[in-house]
Amino acid sequence: MYDIQSIYQATSVDDAIRALQADPSALVIAGGTDVLIKIREGKLAGCSLVSIHNLTGELSGVTLSPGGDVEIGPLTTFRGVTFSDVIRQTVPVLGEAADMAGGPQLRAAGTIGGNVCNGITSADTASTLVALDAVLRVRGPKGERDVPISEWYQGVGRVALAPYELLVKIIIPRDNYAGYTGHYIKYAQRAAMDIATLGVSCLVKLTDDKKTVDDAALAFGVAGPVPMRAPSAEAAVRGLPIEEAIAVIGKAALADVNPRTSWRASKEFRIQLIEELSPRALREAARKGGADV
List the CATH code of the domain at 4-51: 3.30.43
Q: In what order do the strands lie in the sheet with 70-72?
A: 62-64, 70-72, 166-172, 135-140, 143-148
Which pLDDT does position 191 carry in this prediction?
A: 64
* pLDDT for the residue numbered 42: 85
DSSP string, 233-286: HHHHHTTSBHHHHHHHHHHHHTTT------SS--HHHHHHHHHHHHHHHHHHHH
Strands (E), 180-231: 181-187, 198-206, 213-221, 228-229
pLDDT over threshold 80, residue 234: yes
Q: Summarize pLDDT for 160-211 with one digit per residue, the tens.
A: 999 999 999 999 999 999 999 999 999 988 766 678 999 999 999 999 999 9
- The secondary structure of 100-164, three-state, reads CCCCHHHHHHCEHHHHHHCCCCCCCCHHHHHHCCCEEEEEECCEEEEEEHHHCEEECCEECCCCC
Percent pLDDT > 70 in the chain is 99
More confident residue, 248 or 191: 248
pLDDT exceeds 70 at position 270 = yes
pLDDT value for 1 = 63
Rounded distance, CA 37 to CA 45, Å?
11
pLDDT band at 36; cut points 50, 70, 90: confident
Q: Answer for the pair 245, 213: CB distance below 8 angstroms, yes or no.
A: yes
Residue type, 251: K
Query: What is the SS3 assignment for 205?
Result: strand
**Residue 172, pLDDT score:** 98
Fold assignment, 178-288: Enolase-like; domain 1 (3.30.390)
Distance CA 57, CA 197 (A): 35
- Examine the pLDDT at 262 and tell me if it is beyond 80: yes
Mean pLDDT of 95-124: 92
Q: Is the pLDDT of residue 135 over 70?
A: yes
C-beta of residue 70 within 8 angstroms of C-beta of residue 172: yes
- State the CATH class of domain 60-175: alpha beta
Give domain limits for the chain: 4-51, 60-175, 178-288
pLDDT of residue 225: 93
- pLDDT band (50, 70, 90) for residue 41: confident
Q: Are strands 4-9 and 47-51 parallel, antiparallel or unpaired?
A: parallel
Burial zone of 236 (CB within 10 Å; 0-12 exposed, 13-18 middle, 19+ buried) = buried
Mean pLDDT across the chain? 94
